[in-house]
Structures are given as C-alpha cells and as structure tokens.
Amino acid sequence: MAFRVFNGEVNNKATKIFGGEASGICDWDDIKYPHMLTLYKELFGNYWIEDEIRLISDLKQYRDGLTERERYVYNVVTGMLTSLDSVANRFNFTIGHTCTDPSVAAVIQIIGAFEGLHARSYQYLTSTMLNSEQKKQAFNAPKKIPLLRERNDIIFKKIQNFIDDPTNLEKLYHALLANLVLEGVFFTGAFVYFNSLARSNRMIGSNNMVNLIKTDENFHSVFYGDIMKILMLENPELNTELNHKEAVSFIKASVEKEKEWAEFIFEGIDTLSIPEYKDYVEYLANVICRNAGIQEVYPDNKELKSKWIITYGSKGGNTKSDFFQTNVISYGHESGDGFDL
C-alpha cells in the first residue's frame, strides 16, 4: 500500500514523509516540515510558459548561423533533455504517490507538472526549428546513441527499480540518488551548450528558455537534497556506512560517464572547452552532495571557475537579448511594481 487517502484514527501531521501515517487532511498549519509551505508558494511564484519566449532570431540562426556539427549537437541535446524531463515527469508522479505527508506530496506534484512543462518547452524549440529529419535525429538520439544510452541507463535502472517496488525505502533511497544526478549533473552539458552558443551571440531565445528551466532544476535539486536528508533522519536503517559509500561511488561513476559523453558530443564544438566542462561537472557533483548531506566527491573542486556559465547561464544573465526577450525573461510575479495604478 502506498498511502491511505483518509485515516480518521491518526493525526493530520504525518509521522514520516515515506512509510508513515497521516490522516490525509492537508492542514498547512499542522505539518511536520513547515518550510514545505514556503517551497510550495515559491514554486507557484516561478510559473512560466514556453510561449513567452520568442524564437524568430533563433530560427534564422539555426538555419544560417550554426555549423552542421553545431546543428547536430543542438538536435541531440534537445532530444536528450526531452528524454530526461519525460522521465522526471513520471518519476515525480510515482514518488508523490508513495509519499505519506500530504504537504510534501503537494510540492512534488508541482515539481512533476513543471517537468512536463520542460519537456513541452524542448518540443517548442524542435517544432519551431527542426524539419522532420532533424526531429527524428533529436528524438531518436536517446535510443540510438550507445554512449548516451549507457550514461542514462545507470540512473534509469535505479529509478525503474523504485517504480517497480515503490514502497521499498531502500529502492527509494537509490532512486533519489539517481534523481539527484539526473537533475544536478546529466542536464548540465546541454544547458552549458546553449550558454556557450549565447556567449557567441547565437540562439539567445533558446538559451533564455533553458535558463528558466535551469532555475527550476536548481530549485528541485535543493528540494530533493532536503528530502534525502529527511529520509535518512526518519529512517536510521538507511543511514549506514555502506549506503553512504555506495552514494559516493555512484555519483563518481555518473560523473565519469558524463565526462565520456561530453568528449563524444562536444567534439568539434569551438564554443565549449571539454576540460573546462569536466571541471564544471565535478564542481556540480559536489553541489548535489552538499545539498543531500553526502560527503563531497571531489573535495579539491570547491569553486566555480568558468564564470561565463553564470553570466550566460542565469535568468536575465546575458545582455544580448532584444527588448521583447529581455522583457520576457524578467517576467515574474515576485515584484508588484507598476500594479498599483
């Protein structure tokens, strides 16, 4: 049994977020982890849709301003992102379903919906720019390129094990680790590729959209790091030396796979240096470890050295956007300026 929709004999406040008991009534004033309400509101505040992004210049540049290789990489990484977010969308659905705490489940449901939006956003890029041959290249890449399959399989396997047995906390632990790698490391190469094109003043609309997605992913990564810490706290039987060691070696192995993949996919791409990218991936692996309370896997790599990734890889971070794009990218609900007329 995943959870009970209603249990009149127990408290509204859940005893544990997974495998616990709760009445099923979500009383936001009576939840075990009050910051879930803040997260929930923040997620709603970050709402956006892909149609806000203009791609007219990107369409022209995709055809005339990219090399053949750059177009190929654009297609493959967009297909790869679609595949990862499609999995994330379904994974969140299952994890939300097994969650005992209704407040945590509510946060996960929004995250799941956003993963669906992300997949649709990549579709917006491909449907706008790619012809049917190029689309085939994009959407078949996750199935056809052996190195990409191999890299993804190491996380998909852990996620599938959990989907097949969703009340098993040990499998949940491993699936959460896989999800941390998915969100915190495996998306990165594609994001950085778009950032690097923007650095050469190309595909600015695509980069703006990717940066909206990256902001969401950073948020998810922090949230799931937190969930991992709570899981360990509530279930001391998972908090073992062996599990900890396995986490470290799994994250390290994933990073090595990511480096191999980067060597393959970014060959012939002048805007991106592979050694620089590898260094960045190690740095990111440390970030997911810190978020999840796991010992850093690359203790010497504590600082982000490639500052341009921040310049071109943040919402509103580049100054090359045209008026509409700038307007779109700073679209948000957090500021009330101009509304009290």
Answer yes or no whether residue 220 interacts with Fe ion by CB under 5 A: yes
Closest CB 297 distance from Fe ion, rounded Å: 21
Q: Which region, judged by CB under 5 A, interacts with Fe ion, from 18-26, 68-76, 179-187, 322-330?
A: 179-187
Nearer to Fe ion, 108 or 247 (CB): 108
| The one-letter amino acid at 202 | R
Closest CB 88 distance from Fe ion, rounded Å: 5
Q: Measure the CA–CA gap between 15 and 195, rounded to whole angstroms.
A: 44
Q: Measure the CA–CA gap between 241 and 222, rounded to whole angstroms.
A: 23
Cβ atoms of 58 and 206 within 8 Å: the answer is yes
Nearer to Fe ion, 158 or 220 (CB): 220
Q: Which region, judged by CB under 5 A, interacts with Fe ion, from 82-90, 100-108, 296-304, 321-329?
A: 82-90
Q: Tokens 């500021």 label which residue?
A: 335
Q: Measure the CA–CA gap between 45 and 292, rounded to whole angstroms.
A: 24
Closest CB 239 distance from Fe ion, rounded Å: 25
Q: Which region, judged by CB under 5 A, interacts with Fe ion, from 9-17, 177-185, 244-252, 257-265?
A: 177-185
Q: Which region, judged by CB under 5 A, interacts with Fe ion, from 63-71, 127-135, 173-181, 215-223?
A: 215-223
Nearer to Fe ion, 50 or 115 (CB): 115
Buried/exposed 58-93: b ≥16 CB within 10 Å, e otherwise: beebbeebbeeebbbbbbbbbbbbbbbbbbbbebbb
Percentages helix, strand, coil for the chain, rounded to the nearest 5?
A: 70, 0, 30
Answer yes or no whether residue 58 interacts with Fe ion by CB under 5 A: no
Give the interface size with Fe ion as a residue count (CB under 5 A).
6
Closest CB 118 distance from Fe ion, rounded Å: 4
Cβ atoms of 255 and 288 within 8 Å: the answer is no
Q: What Cα–Cα distance (Å) separates residue 148 from each residue in 63, 131, 153, 254, 319?
A: 26, 23, 8, 12, 33
Q: Measure the CA–CA gap between 96 and 107, rounded to whole angstroms.
A: 8
How crowded is residue 36: how many other Cβ atoms within 10 Å of its Cβ? Answer: 22
Nearer to Fe ion, 70 or 217 (CB): 217
Q: Which region, judged by CB under 5 A, interacts with Fe ion, from 44-52, 117-125, 196-204, 252-260?
A: 117-125
Determine which residue in the list 58, 70, 101, 183 makes contact with Fe ion, applying CB under 5 A. 183
Determine which residue in the list 50, 58, 70, 115 makes contact with Fe ion, applying CB under 5 A. 115
Cβ atoms of 318 and 306 within 8 Å: the answer is no
Nearer to Fe ion, 58 or 115 (CB): 115
Determine which residue in the list 54, 118, 199, 202 makes contact with Fe ion, applying CB under 5 A. 118
Half-sphere exposure of 49 (CA within 13 A, CB side): 1
Closest CB 181 distance from Fe ion, rounded Å: 12
Closest CB 114 distance from Fe ion, rounded Å: 6
Q: Measure the CA–CA gap between 177 and 197, rounded to whole angstroms.
A: 31
Closest CB 263 distance from Fe ion, rounded Å: 25
Q: Measure the CA–CA gap between 212 and 215, rounded to whole angstroms.
A: 5
Nearer to Fe ion, 22 or 104 (CB): 104
Nearer to Fe ion, 112 or 317 (CB): 112
Q: At what angle do helices 274-292 and 169-181 cross, to 10 degrees?
A: 140
Cβ atoms of 78 and 122 within 8 Å: the answer is yes
Determine which residue in the list 58, 70, 85, 101 makes contact with Fe ion, applying CB under 5 A. 85
Answer yes or no whether residue 101 interacts with Fe ion by CB under 5 A: no
**Contact set with Fe ion (CB under 5 A):** 85, 115, 118, 183, 217, 220
